[in-house]
Amino acid sequence: MIYDLIIVGLGPAGVGAAIYAKRSGLNVLCLEAEAPGGLLNKINTVDNYLGFPHTTGPELAVQLFQQITKLEIPYKIKKVTEIEAGEIKKVHCDDEVFEAKYIIVASGRKARKLGLKNEANLVNKGISYCAICDAALYKGKDVAVVGGGNSAIEEAIYIAKLVNKVYLIHRRDEFRADEKLVNDLKALPNVEILYNSNVTELIGEDKLEGIIVNGDKKLDVACLFTYVGYEPEGDFLSELGITDEKGYIIVDENYQSKADGIYAAGDAILKKVYQIVTAASEGAVAALEVVRRVKNNK
């Protein structure tokens, strides 16, 4: 079968696109590598999305998924490994190839690593990129959070409610996070902020036993939560030549990449604002552009 539209990724951008495409009568298929909701599944609090004064990432992910199932939008849990351009695009997964006239890439971003020795081996053994998944495992213990953006501060506030003490390690003396979040963090009695500080070493072979900061200061922490930004997920796009040097997809005002009929939305694209609300809206706009082209048959 040749679909009108294949959407890669079911985070807010992919779901936004899927809702508009399906309601406009397109024959659409969604492909998601992990769980519907994307990064929402790893975010603790969400209090800046319309209609949800206070919710959690996983709760919002469930709502999005319910909208997908209620609209009977077809989806498969499959990891896309390659997309081939052309009038009919081929979307390769490990064990299956799907075809479509149009594609919307909404594959989002993944957590950036610190790049320290033994970091990969210690994931889930004291290195975490997901507070909502792992913080409860460190009840009563001392932990560290690294980063100075909204993610690091928001997640440090959440973690501080569960553990004994949080060291917030930031490489500069100014945060890029929203002022309100920073003030909320500073008001917590069990948070110590280390400015102008970098994690330089991870101690422990099979389990994190501590960290070294700025080359000589040892902190006995049971976990290091790393929130130093994100990078695009799109290894599968390398053959298409539609990304910048960092892997972000470059799109025009209709969210089309330079490959005709291949659109992109959400955290996967190069843009200024990376928010749930912008991702959802970009998905909707991209889908409506595809609807227009399908209806006009061009």
Residue numbers at the binding site for ligand NAP (CB under 6 A): 48, 114, 146-152, 154, 171-172, 176, 198, 227-230, 274-275
Nearest to 221 by CA among 137, 89, 126: 126
Q: Which residue is nearest to ligand NAP (CB)?
A: 149
Name which of 21 and 213 has its Cβ closer to ligand NAP. Answer: 213
Taking the complex as a whole, the smallest distance from the CB of residue 176 to ligand NAP amounts, in Å, to 4
Q: Which two tokens stand for residue 263?
A: 């659109």
Q: Which is nearer to ligand NAP, 33 or 177 (CB)?
A: 177
Least distance from ligand NAP to the Cβ atom of residue 26, Å:
30
Angle between the N-to-C axes of helices 150-160 and 179-186, in degrees from 0 to 180, rounded to the nearest 10: 30
φ, ψ of residue 238 to 5 degrees: the values are -60, -35
Please report how close the Cβ of residue 72 comes to ligand NAP at its closest, in angstroms: 32
Rounded to 5 degrees, what are φ and ψ at 93?
-115, 180
CB of 43 to ligand NAP, least distance (A): 7
Q: How far is the CB of 224 from ligand NAP (least distance, A)?
A: 11
Task: Enumerate helices (H) and strands (E) in the chain, giving the number of each.
Answer: 6, 19
- Residue 84 or 192: the one with the smaller Cβ distance to ligand NAP is 192
CB burial class (10 A; 0-12, 13-18, 19+) of residue 118? middle
Q: Which is nearer to ligand NAP, 99 or 210 (CB)?
A: 210
When the beta carbons of 38 and 147 are compared against ligand NAP, the nearer one is: 147
Structure tokens at 293: 């082209």
Q: What is the DSSP letter of 238?
A: G
The DSSP bridge partners found for residue 144 are 167, 224
Minimum distance from residue 75 beta carbon to ligand NAP (Å): 25
The residue type found at 225 is F
